């Protein structure tokens, strides 16, 4: 989509630069990657309509937004998509329903955003090939990230309450025990998801040792082999 000869990219750069209170020169200094003040001005006034991938990422970093937000107009989701994307016979994998569904219009801006950011996988049923590899790997990455969030939050709450002795109030002991179990469940899920990532061919570090170190510092007993039996395996979940 263009307005008075200015590409959607140029319109977005101008919109978010002003929202950040930056001049073209200040944005140029923050972004680097050959994005001089004149280049940014040319993008915003329509004399230039494209950037390299490195420059797109640099602009996203400088403006503190996802690079994808520079490509589409999220304020006008019903507009035509700014670039062509595969139709795949009008079907896509919807993470919310976990099914291949017919899509209203693959030219709409909102659909393009969903495809560009990985929220919607363009594919046929059954899901296979590259779409399947992307979907399964991003799902495992989301699960792993959320498991770490759950673990660190539970450990923080546990340590904030302090260590409990037999002389402590019964309610405090109950709460502490509950927070300990939350931390153990989080630790189990982090290790499970890391194993799922490894199975998908994702490079990881020694996650199990990192979890064990964290639990040891928090003085929470943890053994993956035995503790994993207490909680359901979330590896089949689909994170949205």
State pTM to two decimals: 0.69
Is pLDDT of 11 > 80?
yes
Give the three-class secondary structure for 6: strand
Contact in structure between 72 and 82 (CB atoms under 8 Å): yes
Q: Please compute the mean of the pLDDT values over residues 204-222 and round it to a whole number.
A: 92
- Which H or E run includes 101? strand 99-102
| pLDDT tens figures, 48-58 | 888 999 999 99
199: which residues sit within 8 A by CB, 6+ positions away? none
Q: What is the pLDDT of residue 239?
A: 46
pLDDT tens, residue by residue, 225-234: 999 888 887 6
Tell me how long the chain is: 240
Note the pLDDT of residue 237: 57
Write down the pLDDT at residue 107.
64
What is the per-residue pLDDT across 50-84, written as a single tens digit (0 to 9) for each? 899 999 999 999 999 999 889 888 888 777 777 77
- Terminal-residue alpha carbon distance, the chain: 28
């Amino acid at each position: 989509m263009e307005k008075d000869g200015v590409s959607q990219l140029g319109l977005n750069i101008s919109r978010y630069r002003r929202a950040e209170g930056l001049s073209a020169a200040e944005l140029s200094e923050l972004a680097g990657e050959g994005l001089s003040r004149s280049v940014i001005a040319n993008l915003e006034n329509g004399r230039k309509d494209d950037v390299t991938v490195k420059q797109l990422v640099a602009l996203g970093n400088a403006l503190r937004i996802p690079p994808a937000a520079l490509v589409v107009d999220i304020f006008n989701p019903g507009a035509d998509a700014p670039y062509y994307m595969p139709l795949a016979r009008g079907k896509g994998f919807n993470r919310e329903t976990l099914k291949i569904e017919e899509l209203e219009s693959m030219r709409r801006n909102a659909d393009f955003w969903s495809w560009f950011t990985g929220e919607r996988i363009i594919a046929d049923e059954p899901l296979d090939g590259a779409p399947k590899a992307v979907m399964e790997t991003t799902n495992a990455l989301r699960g792993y990230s959320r498991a770490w969030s759950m673990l660190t939050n539970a450990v923080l709450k546990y340590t904030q309450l302090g260590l409990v002795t037999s002389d402590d109030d019964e309610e405090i002991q109950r709460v502490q025990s509950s927070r300990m179990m939350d931390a153990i469940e989080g630790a189990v899920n982090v290790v499970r998801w890391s194993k799922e990532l490894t199975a998908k061919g994702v490079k990881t570090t020694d996650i199990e040792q990192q979890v064990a170190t964290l639990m040891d510092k928090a003085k929470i007993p943890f053994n993956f082999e035995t503790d994993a039996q207490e909680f359901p395996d979330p590896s089949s979940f689909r994170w949205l």
